[in-house]
Structure 1
Amino acid sequence: MITLDTNVVSELMRARADPGVVAWIDSQPADEIYLTAVTMAELRYGVARVPEGRRRTDLADRLQRAVEAGFAGRVLPFDDDAAAHYADIVMGRERRGLPIAMADAQIAAICRSHSAGLATRNTGDFVHTGIDLTNPWQTTPAN
């Protein structure tokens, strides 16, 4: 099981997505790819920031279709189990002098609670969180 970080989903929604990222996603079993509720919140916030108009409506429609078609039943929540992992992740990073954004810590906690990896361009934001990391722009695992 692998979850997609916000930057991966955003890239895949672009009109001219990076061919390496597209090839990477195409090589993954579709039923093994998940999103987190935190990623959904970030994506929806990103759409809401676009000024009202045709572009915003188009982005909102594309996001809704992608989630309904591609991730129905595969959006992982931030629940009690993830909350326990969250505390461990934040403290572990603090001990190393590595602050972590709340949303990133929540995403990492959700991944840990489901023994899932994370695909992200920002692997540095997730080191020392106890999850397997993959950068689809590099297509080599990072930890």
Structure 2
Amino acid sequence: MSWLVDTNVLSELTRRAPDRRVLDWVAAHADDLVTAAPVVAELLYGVARLPAGRRRDALSLAVVTLLEPFRGGRVLPFDEHAAVELAAVRVARERRGMPVGDVDLMIAATCRAHDVPLVTRNVQDFVGTGVQVVDPWQGP
């Protein structure tokens, strides 16, 4: 079974002292982890918007290193199937009065298109999307 890791999970891994529960969860599922193109975009944007300097350089290296295991097919695309899923998710959330940001919509749609659960701390952002969500900060 594959697990799609969200931006906040991958970001946690770049911290000086990552949460032990997240480290343990990721280690236990390392061979089954995938991510999504919008997650990669968020990570790269987060680095690019920092002012030039040592902090940005260090974070850039950390993100490149972090993403290395996902190369070669472990970054799921936002494709035509995901676009169809995005429309369904957006309508469902709007009808419930629960709008959601574009990137989270793309991530949810990618999960649905590839039938994979999402690993994130932001559980509430994905309520009503039809995506199974796991919060590694909650522990086993």
TM-score class, shorter: over 0.9
Q: How does 1:32-71 map to 2 (within 5 A)?
A: 32-68=32-68, 70-71=69-70
- What is the rounded CA distance, in whole Å, between the counterparts of 2:88 and 2:113 in structure 1? 12
Secondary structure, aligned partner of 2:118: strand
Secondary structure, aligned partner of 2:4: strand
- What is the rounded CA distance, in whole Å, between the counterparts of 1:130 and 1:139 in structure 2? 22
Calculate the TM-score normalised by the size of structure 2: 0.95
Unmatched tracts of structure 1, length 5 or more: none
TM-aligned CA deviation for residue 31 of structure 1: 2.9
On the 8 A contact 2:50/2:56 being kept in 1, the answer is: yes
On the 8 A contact 2:10/2:66 being kept in 1, the answer is: no
TM-aligned CA deviation for residue 50 of structure 1: 1.5
- What is the rounded CA distance, in whole Å, between the counterparts of 1:111 and 1:89 in structure 2? 11
Secondary structure, aligned partner of 2:115: coil
- What is the rounded CA distance, in whole Å, between the counterparts of 2:92 and 2:118 in structure 1? 18
Calculate the TM-score normalised by the size of structure 1: 0.93
- What is the rounded CA distance, in whole Å, between the counterparts of 2:24 and 2:32 in structure 1? 16
- What is the rounded CA distance, in whole Å, between the counterparts of 1:127 and 1:46 in structure 2? 25
Q: How does 1:1-40 map to 2 (within 5 A)?
A: 1-28=2-29, 30-40=30-40
- What is the rounded CA distance, in whole Å, between the counterparts of 1:56 and 1:67 in structure 2? 16
On the 8 A contact 2:89/2:129 being kept in 1, the answer is: yes
Aligned residue pairs, count: 138
- Report the identity percentage: 47
Q: Deviations over 1:57-84 (max 9, x none)?
A: 111111112212x212211110000000
Task: Note if 1:120 corresponds to 2:127.
Answer: no
Structure 1 partner of 2:71 = 72
Secondary structure, aligned partner of 2:103: helix
- What is the rounded CA distance, in whole Å, between the counterparts of 1:123 and 1:111 in structure 2? 14
TM-aligned CA deviation for residue 122 of structure 1: 0.5
Structure 2 partner of 1:131 = 131
Higher helix share: 2
On the 8 A contact 2:86/2:106 being kept in 1, the answer is: yes
Unmatched tracts of structure 2, length 5 or more: none
